[in-house]
Structure 1
Amino acid sequence: MAYLLAPYNSAMRLGMGFNSFTQQLCINDAVKTMNNQTATEKNLRPQYKKGEMESSTSQVVTWSAKFVDRISEVTDSMNISGSLEIKCDAIGGGGGASAHFIDSNKFKESDLNYFIQVKVTNEQLVAHDVTEFCPIADVSAADFTRVYGDSFISGFTEGGEFNALVSIKLKDRSKAKEIGGQLKIELDLKAASVKGTAEGSKKDLESSYEGETTISVSWTGGGDIKDESVTDWTFATLKAVAMEFPEHVMACPMRTNAILTKYTSLKSFHEKTLKGSPLDYENAGVYSSALLDAYMDFKVMWRNIQMAAWEVEQGQSYLVAKPNLPELSEMATEAQKHYTAQTARYQKLLTGPTAESETSSQIVPVTPLEDGSTVTQKVVKVESRGLLEAPLPPNPLKPYPATIFGLDKARRDCRFEMIKIVKEVDAVAHDPKVAIDPSRTWQYLSPAIFRVLLPSVHNLDAEKRAAAASEEARLKEENLAKTNQAIQNELTETKRKLADTEANLAQGAGPAGPEDGRSRGS
């Protein structure tokens, strides 16, 4: 059975409860040693005994280099839960998430994104004797996962991890495939040596295309992995550092991941008389990644709407409304039916809870909207299923007006869709079955559909430049046509004169007359 891993942070302790879906720390000492003692570092490695200890260093190194189209591909490779990234971004700032080095805007706007990863494991430190589950009295069944999580920290991995993301935004997108092939060869980690120097790399590839290149790097372990010769990240230096990273980790390892163990794998857990059991998040990972990709799409659109509003206000751009497609009306009708059904279901649970579910309620505000207002709703705590919240209204699915007011409404609605995704993460955390429920639709609008509703933004300067370039091309074409016509006319005139000359010569070389014969005879 493969280990379940989570990125390490300094607050982690042996035996601590952990939620593998949200990657949040839970209660301390959820699991203790067999003699009911708090787990310590001594449980990870044996105490030093002079003359009886042997030391050997071995490494497990995993190299990975690939093109990525979605941010979730990067976070999955780094063992980061998509729900953690969404929650950390929603509360503002990185929140300690390990993927904070990625610029989501650069990622989404780039034509090529190439991800390089080197994982080095020096050793796995597992506390095999931490097996005694320690329940707390009066923890209700509904609060089990919130208090304990679904697993506990049973060990750590030590080594290092190097991550780099190369994002390229090309001026000519038609060359994306060609540049991508060159990039894959240039950064091939399977090669035995680095091709050329940093200067050579710039000449070979980085100067062979017009565009913007962003290189983002993050590493754990290895100490100072760059020597004094590396003053800037280039393709060649990036590859050289990645190739040498395992040697640096051997000299300076760090804890990179926590090893998680499910409570259900403990004999002591099944022997206890408990109210409730940990939730199973095995199938929630794929849904979490999809939520992260949608959230990042909305985040980029939200920023672009703000930029468009500023450009329109400054007179630099103008807007053109999108057409109201018939399919939008059909989708709006379907979404409203779903919202009505979900509201009725919520009201039924609110006013008449079932006999099997013990409920309580409270009034809480949701996240404030962009206009400063808040949506207050009642939250019902259903003991057997966690929190049940009132459904949020769907987008009316009508193209936004091509005005500054339309953009402002679009910006608020875009933010509201992001809030819906955050609340969907909470829903999965309280009930993992949400992730595999085929009838659970319209929780948030697809980013692709929302993009259809936004007015097109036309930059005046860009259009002027395009018009000027088009006019220049037209004039060049006209001048070329005139030049070709002049050459053609000159050629025609030359051919006519040549034909006249040949005709005159032909007449002058004709048969002699009688007078000419007499003159020659005399």
Structure 2
Amino acid sequence: MSTLLLAPFNDSMRLGQGYNSFLQTPCLGNAVDISNAKYVESDDEKAPSQTVSYSARFVEKMSDIVHAMNISAGSSIRTGSVSVSGGGNNIDEIKFAESDLNAVISVKVVNQTRNLRDNISFNHIKNMDSARFHDIYGDTFISGFIEGGDLHGIISIRTIDATRKSEVKNKLRSQFNGANTEWAPSSSAVISEALRQAEVTVTVNWSGGGIIKPSDEEWTIESLIRASSAFADNVAKCPQRTWAILTRYDTVEGFVNWAYDLSPKVTVRRYEGVQRYTSDLLDMYIEYKGNLLILNDAIRHTDRYEASKDPRAVGMSIDSLIEARKHLRAEMNKIVGNIEILDKDPEKIHTLLGQNDITAPELWRVKLPFRKDPTGEAATKSVFESLLEGLPIQAELSKSLPPSAEKYPPLCDSYESLGQIEKSALADLTRERPEINKHFHLSRPIGSNGKGTYFNNVDFLKPSVYITAVKASTFRGCLNYLGIFYSNGLTVSHGCLRGQHDVFELELSPEEGEKIIAAVVETGEEQGVEDAEPRITKLALYTNRANKLVAEPPVKPKTETADKRTFSPVESISHEPVEGGSLVKGFWGFSQNGRVGLEDDGIWRLGVVWGNPPKA
């Protein structure tokens, strides 16, 4: 699925229909003639009956959720909400923004993929230019459908006692690690105790599987995990179309010939380069919706609010509050306006980035009124202490370690070489799991920490879980994808895997005691690019059974491209166990995970997660 451009299925979709992939809106029906086209199907006898992937993780941004659900960030901004098709409820963005913790459980099941190929004819209209073409045809057409099931459950938690936030997160993480295989009645007691003083909202949306929960039962964390565990079996009995497969017009020979004969020629717009920016805009838009909610409530109940202590605070008079609301809406309109601009011309991304005329919603948040605290000084102190615990101060972290943890090496002995995001993440990790260095050790990552999104496999790992397989890919000189398969059925992917990549795989034999015991990571800078940042160009893994994976660009790659890239070596580091008997449990670093093939896709920074061998 990662190699395909997808859109969530709805009943209005038809094969051959034009489609705007950026705004996820339908365009001209019968944009292409498919009467003579051939189908490519995935349900032959050699293919597995189902492909199932589970994931459970904590998220902080709404863009992470829409990305996982293949919902367009541009569409969500334009319509003012994150809307989804299928059973269940729409996503409550305000509840998400107001919560202390948000977790997502996802199950994706693919039973069959049907896609049109060959003998596709483009149905052209006279008097056409690029702008009119985009309005009428869009940038893609619907060429097929994926059948199976898709489930997403969002758990939003607001803790009454801020000091228990870490405890709640750890309890949930322990359940998520075994969500698809280890659910037991005792799990309910664990979760109930952890959430005893918390407000919990569970929102579930699914396609396929029929009725996955009794209609008279409310969605809870327990019912969500049960439904997730049984979802693949339910989909096998009741599958449905979940995704539409989109194909660009400029892959159809008839369109290319027609478009290039026109003067000026018609070009199809490309949105690969704006995905990260639109995701950022969506997160800003959701933050502004939260700000607007606070302001509207303050206007209705001025007696419940007091002015911020910020020197630029919004006054508490009705006139001041209404004036501030007008400015908030103006900022939201700017965001919507930028989406409209990018839809018409994605090349204007550079102009918009240069202007940077949208005020960060966080700057508004500190100026807004806040609710008077009814619990007084004691509550204020507990919140203040919890905030202090989150500060990335290495010297203070060691003071909170229990005596048993002091016997083991530090979680990461290269702390000073880390970036601020990494330091903050490790501070949170150490605070939430004080004995984590008893089970894991993080080697120094290399590469750029200014590109992509931070990840750390140790966030969801149990000490007993181990790697069963690794898949990696390279393309145009660098490492583009890294997939790790775990003993509990979990699969974790970083970067992007596409059909033109060179793929490298390593399968372990855990029953024979095989494990990864060494690794080599190399970085390089692209030649001919000013201020190029280092990125990962090679990953090698070695097992105690003389097997290995060496993912580096081959002399003769699978796909030859005209715009070749050459990288100058920057750094190479060999990773070996800190303690005897340790094994590689995963990785941490930064990756860019674009949907449709960004130039920056791939692994930008990488370190190794070491762990003690699983206990018998």
Per the normalisation by structure 1, the TM-score is 0.66
Structure number with higher helix proportion: 1
Deviation, 1:9, is 0.9
CA distance in 2, matches of 1:141, 1:219: 37
Tell me which residue corresponds to 2:304.
316
Partner of 1:346: none
1:117 to 87, 106, 110: 106
- CA displacement 1:219-240 (0-9 Å, x = unmatched): 1011111258x83333332212
Q: Distance in 2 between matches of 1:251 and 1:57?
A: 16
Alignment map for 1:328-339 (pairs within 5 Å) = none
- Which segment is superposed worse, 170-179 or 289-298? 170-179
Q: Secondary structure at the match of 1:142?
A: helix
1:319 positional shift: 2.8
Contact 1:153 / 1:258 at 8 angstroms: preserved in 2? Answer: yes
Root mean square deviation, CA, Å: 2.9
Matched-pair contact (CA < 8 Å) for 2:129–2:266:
yes
User: Structure 2 vs 1, CA of residues 261 and 130 (structure 1 numbering), >3 Å: closer, same or farther?
Assistant: farther
**Counterpart pick for 1:444 among 346, 350, 358:** 358
SS class of match (2:52): strand
Q: Is the 8 A contact 1:19 1:150 kept in 2?
A: yes
SS at match of 1:168: strand
Q: CA deviation at 1:203?
A: 2.7
**Post-superposition offset of 1:188:** 2.5
Which residue number corresponds to residue 120 of structure 2? 131
1:142 aligns with 2:131: yes
Does the CA contact (< 8 Å) of 2:141 and 2:246 recur in 1?
yes
Structure 2 portions without partners, runs of 5+:
381-616
1:207 is matched with which residue: 164, 189, 193? 193
Whether contact under 8 Å (1:320, 1:457) holds in the other structure is: yes
Cα distance between partner residues in 2 of 1:119 and 1:280: 27
SS at match of 1:79: coil
Distance in 1, Cα, partners of 2:218 & 2:274 = 40
Q: What is the distance in 2 between the residues matched to 1:99 and 1:298?
A: 26
Residue deviations 1:431-461, cap 9 Å, x none?
Answer: 112234475323422111222333x3352xx
Question: How many residues are paired up?
Answer: 372
* 1:175 equivalenced with 2:85 (yes/no): no
Displacement of 1:201:
4.0
Letter in 1 for 2:319: F
Which residue number corresponds to residue 536 of structure 2? none
Deviation at 1:294, TM superposition (A): 0.6
Which residue is equivalent to 2:421? Answer: none
Q: Does the 8 Å CA contact 1:59/1:121 hold for their aligned counterparts?
A: yes
The equivalent of 1:107 in structure 2 is: 96
Task: Determine the structure 1 residue equivalent to 2:221.
Answer: 235
Does the CA-based 8 Å contact 1:109-1:169 persist in structure 2?
yes
SS at match of 1:117: strand
Q: Distance in 2 between matches of 1:130 and 1:288?
A: 35
2:308 and 2:346 map into 1 onto residues whose CA distance is 43
Provide the residue aligned with 1:289 in structure 2. Answer: 279
CA distance in 2 between partners of 1:469 and 1:191 (Å): 38
**Match of 2:507?**
none
More strand by share: 2
| CA displacement at 1:55 relative to structure 2 | 11
Asked whether the equivalents of residues 52 and 109 of structure 2 are also in contact (C-alpha less than 8 Å), the reply is yes
Instruction: From the superposition, tell whether residues 403 and 416 of structure 1 become closer, same or farther in structure 2 (CA, over 3 Å).
Output: same
Kindly provide the amino acid, as one letter, of the partner of residue 106 in structure 2: Q
Q: Indicate conservation of the 8 Å contact 1:160/1:219, yes or no.
A: yes
Q: 1:258 is matched with which residue? A: 244
| Secondary structure in 2 matching 1:323 | coil
State the partner residue of 1:354: none
Which residue in the other structure is 1:28 paired with?
A: 29
* Per-residue deviation, 1:416: 1.4
Does the Cα contact within 8 Å between 1:308 and 1:317 map onto a contact in 2? yes
* Counterparts in 2 of 1:203 and 1:449: CA distance versus 1, 3 Å: same
Shift in alpha-carbon separation, 1:321–1:403, aligned structure 2, 3 A = farther
Gaps of 5+ in 1: 47-52, 325-398, 471-522
Match of 2:288, as an amino acid?
F
Q: Distance in 2 between matches of 1:180 and 1:469?
A: 20
Report the Cα distance in structure 2 between the residues aligned to 1:162 and 1:240, rounded to whole angstroms: 12
Identity %: 33
Q: Is the partner of 1:143 in helix, strand or coil?
A: helix
Asked if 2 retains the 8 angstrom alpha-carbon contact of 1:321 and 1:401, the reply is: no
Greater Cα radius of gyration, structure 1 or 2: 1
CA distance in structure 2 between the partners assigned to 1:467 and 1:122 by the alignment: 57
Structure 1 CA distance for aligned equivalents of residues 107 and 367 of structure 2: 42
